[in-house]
Chains A and B, each alone.
Chain A
Amino acid sequence: MKKKAILYLNQFFGQIGGEELADHAPEIREGLVGPAMELNKQLGDIAEVTHTIICGDNFMGSRQEEAVETILGFLADKEFDIFFAGPAFRAGRYGSACGHIGKAVKEKFGVQVISSMNDENPGVEMFKKEIYIFKGGASAAAMRKDVKAMADFGKKILTGEELLSAEKEGYYGGGRRHQVWLESEVPATERVVDMLLKKIHGEAFQTELPIPPSDLVPIAPAIKDLSKVKVALATTGGIVPVENPDRIQSASATRWGKYDMTGMDRLEAGAFKTIHAGFDPAAADADPNVIVPLDALRAYEKEGRIGSIHNYFYTTVGTGTTQGEAARMAREIVEDLKAAGVDVVIMTST
C-alpha cells in the first residue's frame, strides 16, 4: 500500500497567478497541481501525492492565523503520512509561509514536514529547527533537483531507513546534536592527533563541537523602589520538603515544585533537603538556607527593604535538564508568578 503525501504551494506554483493574485485564499484540490506532479513521480512506489493545497503568499503573510486554521481544517479529515511544502527557492514570503504551515501541521498531526529553500531565504533561519528544510536552488530552475531531494528524504522517513546527519542528508541543521558511530571507526585518539597537527601547523581543521553564537534576551528594567514589591525565591538546587512530594528527579528533571513557607523565618533542616544529584548534599541538608536564602531575605523584609516575600518558593534540579524542559518549566513558573502578583525574582543556582 502506498503511503499518502500532501503538498503545500503558493499561488504562483499552484498555477493561480502571479503577484496580483497573492491574496488568494487557501484552497485544497484533490490530485496534482504544478510541482506536485514531479513530487509524485519522485516518490515512486513508496508514496503518492493525494492533495495539493494552494494559498496566496500575502494571504498567509497578513492573515496567517486564519490561513493556518483553514488549512488545518482541510486536513482534519484527510489521511496522510507526510507533508511537503515548496520548494520555495529564494522567495522570502513563500519560504516563511512553508515554515508557518509546516510547523502547524507537524504540531497538530504529528507527521514529518519537508521543505526546501535557498540559503538566503529568511524562512531558513525562522524554521530550520521546526521542520526539515533542504538546501535548495535560488530559482525555479532548480525545481527538479530540489523536489527530488525532498522526495528522497521523505521516502527514507516513510520506509524507516536510518536518517543521517543534516550535513550528509543535505538539509539545514536544526540544532539537534546526537551521537553517531563513525562508519570509519576512527577512534577519538586519531581524531585528536589529526586536529592537533593541523592546528599546530596552521592548517584548516574542523571542530566536532562548533560553538554556537550566544543568544541573549532583552534586559528587564531595574526596579527602583523594592519596598513595595513582592519578591519570589527560585532555585535549580533541588531544595524540596524531605518527602519530595512531587517526586522531582535528582537529575534530568522534568518536574518542578512550589512549596509553602508562609510564616517561616528560615527553611529548617529536617523539613527541607536537596535532591540534586550533582553535588555533595551534606551542607544543604544541614542548612537549606545556603541554597534558598529565606532567612536573609526575611531580614530584609522585616527591615522594610523589600515589600514582601512570595509565600512559595520554586524549585527544580538543573543538572542534565534539557533546555527544552527547562524552558517549559520556566514558562509554567512564569504563569504562576504572574497569577501571584510577583514583581521580581531571585534565582539561586548550584
Chain B
Amino acid sequence: MKLEIGNFYVKDIVFGAKTAYENGILTISKEEALAVVKEDEHITEADIVITKPGDKVRIVPVKEAIEPRHRVGGGPVFPGVTGDLMQAGDGKTLALKNCSVLVVGKHWGGFQDGLIDMSGEGAKYTLFSQLQNICLVADTDEDFEKREQQKKNHALRWAGMRLAEYIGGCVAELQPEEVETYALEPVVKRSQEVQGLPSVVLVLQPQSQMEEMGYNDLVYGWDCNHMVPTFMHPNEVLDGAMISGSFMPCSSKWSTYDFQNYPMIKRLYQEHGKTINFLGVIMSNLNVALEQKERAALFVAQMAKSLGAEAAIVAEEGYGNPDADFIACIVALENAGVKTIGLTNECTGRDGASQPLVTLDIKADAIVSCGNVSELIELPPMEKVIGELQSLARDGLSGGWAEDELLGPSVRKDGSIIMENNAMFCGDRVAGWSTKTMVEF
C-alpha cells in the first residue's frame, strides 16, 4: 500500500467571497461553508470563527478537531462515515497543514469536551493552540442529550467532518507544496535487509467503552466496541479510516486530527528499514468487562506472535479502567516473548500521591508517560471566549465543576478558571506529540 499526502502550508485564513487557496492564504466563503454545515437539519445555529496562535482567545466546549483534506480521484475523506466505504491508505490525499476545524458547542458541553487557550500560560497545554483554527460554533436540536453529561454530539461532529471536507476541496485542482509518501511492502515480501531488522508492531487501543452506539471511535464507520483486535495498515489510520468518538475525558482523547497525523506511526515509518521492520498496526480497543479485556489481549498477543513481531508499542486512549486493558495487553505480549513499550498518561490525583494506573504489573517495565489527568490548572481571564465559558463548570466536563468546598467553582466571576488537566483539549497528546512527562516529587 502506498499513500501520498500532498501538503499545503496554510499561512493565513481569511473570509471572502469564494473558498480558495492561493499562496498560503486560505479564503473561506462563510456563506457556502455554513450551507454545508446546515445540510443537517439538526443544526439550529452555526457560525464560523477563525483563531490564530497568540490570539487572546479561550475556546470551550471543544468537541473535536479535524484536518481539512481532500481525497484525490473522488471518495470521502472518511470512508464509511462521510460517504461510501472504500479502501483508505492507498492513493493520494491532499491536506491543509497548520490548521484544523474545531467543533465547538455554542452553549452545551459534556463529559468529553475540552478547552483550548490560544495564548498565555494555558496555550502550552494543547497542540491546537499552535494551529490556525476554523472554529465551527454551533448548536443543535438534539434535546434528548442537551442536559446529559454524556453526549454523542452526532450532528456537530458530522458537521465538522463535512466542513473539513468542503474546505479541503478547494485544493483539489492544485499542486501540493510537498508530498509525504508512506509505503510498506506486504509483511512477508520485504527485502532480506528489512526482514533482518527487529520487527515491530504498533498496538492502538482507541476508546470504545460505551455499549450504546454513537459514542465510540469508529473504524471505517464501524463502532470499535463491536470488534476484536484486527490488523491494519498504518496508512489506513493516517488516511481517514479512524475517527474520534465522544466519550473520554478530554486530555486523554485522540481527536480525528490526531488519527490523521498519528505521530507515533509517522515516527515508526522514519525508523522503518533503518533500525526496525515496521510490521503495521494492530487495532485493538478498550472494554468494560474483564473477559472482553482479556479476549482483546489474547487476540493482540496471538497476532503479534503470528506476524513475527519481536517488539511492540501499546498506546491507550484513556485512563481509569482502560488501564486494565493496557496492562493486560502489555503482559500478554511480554508473556508471548514480545518486548513491549507502553505509551499512556496517568491519574495520580491532584496531590500526585495516587497509584498512577489502576492496574500495575512488573512486566510493564518500559512505559513512556505523558501527563497527569488530574493536575490542577489555574488560568487568568481571557479577553474573548468562543463557545460558552460556563459550560466548563455547568455541564460536567471531566475537568470542571460547578462548586467545590475548597476551590470554588471552575469558572469565576472575573472569567478566570480553575480546572483539572482532564478538560484540556487532547492535553496529554498520547498519540505521541507530548513533551510532558511524569516525575516524582
Contacts and interface: CB of A to CB of B under 8 A. Distances in A.
Contact, chains A and B (beta carbon distance below 8 A): yes
B437 A192 contact: no
Contacts of B342: 209
23 contacts: A165-B439, A173-B441, A176-B351, A177-B438, A178-B372, A178-B375, A179-B371, A179-B436, A181-B124, A182-B437, A185-B435, A186-B435, A192-B264, A196-B311, A200-B310, A209-B357, A209-B438, A247-B403, A277-B111, A280-B210, A319-B320, A322-B354, A324-B353
B441 to A, nearest CB: 5
A323 B439 contact: no
Contact of B263 (A187, A196, A207): A187
Interface string A85-112: 0000000000000000000000000000
B367 interface: yes
A343 B55 CA distance: 61
Interface of B is mostly: loop
Tell which of A129, A211, A320, A321 has the most Cβ of chain B within 10 Å.
Answer: A320
Interface string A41-67: 000000000000000000000000000
Interface of A is mostly: loop
Contact of A187 (B198, B361, B371, B433): B433
B321 A192 contact: no
Contact of A188 (B310, B429, B440): B429
Contact of A191 (B346, B368, B405): B368
B440 A323 contact: no
Tell which of B355, B373, B437 has the most Cβ of chain A within 10 Å.
Answer: B437
A220 interface: no
Interface stretch (A5-13, A68-76, A249-257, A295-303): A249-257
Contact of A166 (B266, B310, B311, B440): B440
A325 interface: yes
Given A181-B124, A209-B346, A323-B354, A187 B439 contact: no
A170 interface: no
A250 B344 CA distance: 23
A65 to B, nearest CB: 26
B341 A187 contact: no
B365 interface: yes
Contacts of A145: none
Interface string A155-193: 000000001011110000111111111100111111111
A177 B368 contact: no
B130 interface: no
B440 A175 contact: yes
B174 to A, nearest CB: 30
A209 to B, nearest CB: 4
Contacts of B374: 252, 320, 322
B82 interface: no
B124 A177 contact: no
Contacts of A168: 439
Contacts of A188: 263-264, 343, 368, 370, 429-430, 432-435
B324 interface: no
Tell which of A186, A209, A319 has the most Cβ of chain B within 10 Å.
Answer: A209
The 9 A-B residue pairs whose C-beta atoms are closest, nearest first, are A322-B349, A176-B352, A165-B439, A173-B440, A189-B267, A189-B432, A209-B367, A323-B354, A208-B369
Contacts of B320: 278, 319-320
Given A189-B432, A211-B361, A322-B353, A178 B339 contact: no
B137 interface: no
Contact of B211 (A167, A189, A280, A325): A280
A196 B268 CA distance: 11
B416 interface: no
Contacts of A166: 439-441
Interface of B: 111, 124, 149-150, 198, 200, 209-212, 249, 263-264, 266-268, 271, 275-276, 288, 310-311, 313, 320-321, 339, 341-344, 346-357, 360-362, 364-375, 396, 398, 401, 403-405, 420-422, 429-430, 432-441
B440 A189 contact: no
Nearest to B270: A193
Given A192-B341, A252-B420, A279-B288, A165 B441 contact: yes
Contact of B437 (A173, A174, A179, A323): A179
Interface string A205-220: 1011101101000000
A281 to B, nearest CB: 8
Contacts of B438: 177-180, 208-209
B401 A211 contact: no
Contacts of A175: 353, 440
A1 interface: no
A286 B297 CA distance: 31
Contact of B398 (A196, A277, A324): A277
A180 B439 contact: yes
Contact of A177 (B267, B310, B372): B372
Contacts of B362: 211
Contacts of A181: 124, 435-436
A177 B356 CA distance: 8
A211 B347 CA distance: 14
Contacts of B436: 179-182
A191 B341 CA distance: 10
B313 A192 contact: yes
A187 B130 CA distance: 15
A179 B271 CA distance: 28
Contacts of A329: none
A19 B301 CA distance: 62
Given A175-B440, A178-B375, A323 B339 contact: no
Interface in A311-329: 319-325
A195 B440 contact: no
A331 interface: no
A321 B420 CA distance: 12
Nearest to B149: A277
B372 to A, nearest CB: 5
